[in-house]
Structure 1
């Protein structure tokens, strides 16, 4: 699941926003107190650091968002590729002997039902692991049907069915790998830490100047938390508000297979 994998994105964003507001307020008050105690000293020690941290935060937010959005897009493409592979294998079941062809179609219906069950299942590791295991066993049974037919009666048609089933197996492995791939923990830690550092440096700069931006800074902090929320939500396939919409292609395929 990765770092904070069991926490919804909305709570991560709200917790980060609260932490940034607290860090900003503490730094603001501390800088104001230090400024009053050092009357006559007009140098601002953190101006350059504030700008550098703000720039670095912007770059890291863009990098993290791009990474999470790219992986979300990859999952979308893999769902469509999986539906296409299953559809091709379904058609090529007709190239097998009648008994093998019927067994192939029954197996593909079962496998497609299991794939849809995975998309509809709650975010429960035990339930998901069971469904994935059943999907793998269904694929193994399908492969035996096609491979035995290809060995018993070698033909170009049998080779086409074997190739189609091999594509289904490949898409299955790619989907499992994509589900397990998340934004690295190191990037998450750096992103959250940099958000807090930015809030602290900004609060220090405003406290040193004795001027509080009562509207501008809180609004920008909310925007930063919103970007973090979307980044985490993109990175979670079964948690949060952003879900894969390409699964409709699998539902359409299952409808075409009949009862």
Structure 2
């Protein structure tokens, strides 16, 4: 149930819930200290628990940041592959170009919709079936060109571009499903609660001097965990993977098609002049 909440709850709700649980754990540790009434040096245990928690947060942050960078690079890679296909299609005869260009544009629009909409976390998300269907139609046209074999060099370059698009699509979808393991998130929350209880036990409930410091520390702790979880949500968090390369390419394709239509509308005599 906790794992489901981590995946579906908004970041601010997770932060509020986590801060509340940490406060309760601190209070529980303070009450335990007051009931036992034994003066022990708890500084080594407190210091060790805070250190281990810091290492765990640093580890999970590194994992989330690396996957964020991978997703961002794959956006650029897929945009580059689609650009290659678009430029190769422009070299084809008008009848082939008029069939391929709308398919490439539709494929790009579907890929943008797939990565911008839908569930918050993609751990078990299905493949982009709609984009795959458009892709199969593009491959059917390429197969016709191979059968005709009238322009083998241009057809080969178009095949290379289509292969790059296939590879980039599979890699992006695979990277979208890769998130911080739920077991690691569970351990991170458990470590946080145990550390809060230890700090509460060390300071006790009667220490008003340490209370503002504890509140500041637990607030920073919650923000650090939220930053890790936010990086792990590339489509819904505050730090999102930008789709700008794909959006720019979409605008370039639309402008290119508009220019082709304008040029086709000009009488041949005016073009010669």
TM-score (normalised: structure 1)? 0.88
Deviations 1:1-53 (A, max 9, x none): x7521122222222111101110011112202211xx4xxx433x43222211
Paired residue for 1:160?
157
Cα 1:131–1:251 change in 2 (3 A) is farther
Query: Aligned partners of 2:180, 2:120: CA distance in 1, in Å?
Result: 20
SS at the partner of 1:215? Answer: helix
Please state how far the C-alpha of 1:208 moved relative to its aligned partner: 9.2
Paired residue for 1:14?
16
* 1:98 has 2:98 as partner: no
Paired residue for 2:250?
254
Q: Which is bigger in relative contact order (C-alpha 8 A, separation at least 6)?
A: 1
Contact 2:75 2:172 in 1 (8 A): yes
SS at the partner of 1:5? Answer: helix
Q: How many residues align?
A: 249
Paired residue for 1:68?
64
Counterpart among 224, 237, 240 of residue 227 in structure 1: 224
State the superposition RMSD in angstroms: 2.4
Please state how far the C-alpha of 1:100 moved relative to its aligned partner: 2.4
Paired residue for 2:27?
25
Unaligned runs of 5+ in 2: 258-273
* 1:123 has 2:92 as partner: no
Please state how far the C-alpha of 1:73 moved relative to its aligned partner: 1.5
Paired residue for 1:107?
103
Contact 1:31 1:204 in 2 (8 A): yes
Cα 1:124–1:7 change in 2 (3 A) is closer
Paired residue for 1:143?
139
TM-score (normalised: structure 2)? 0.83
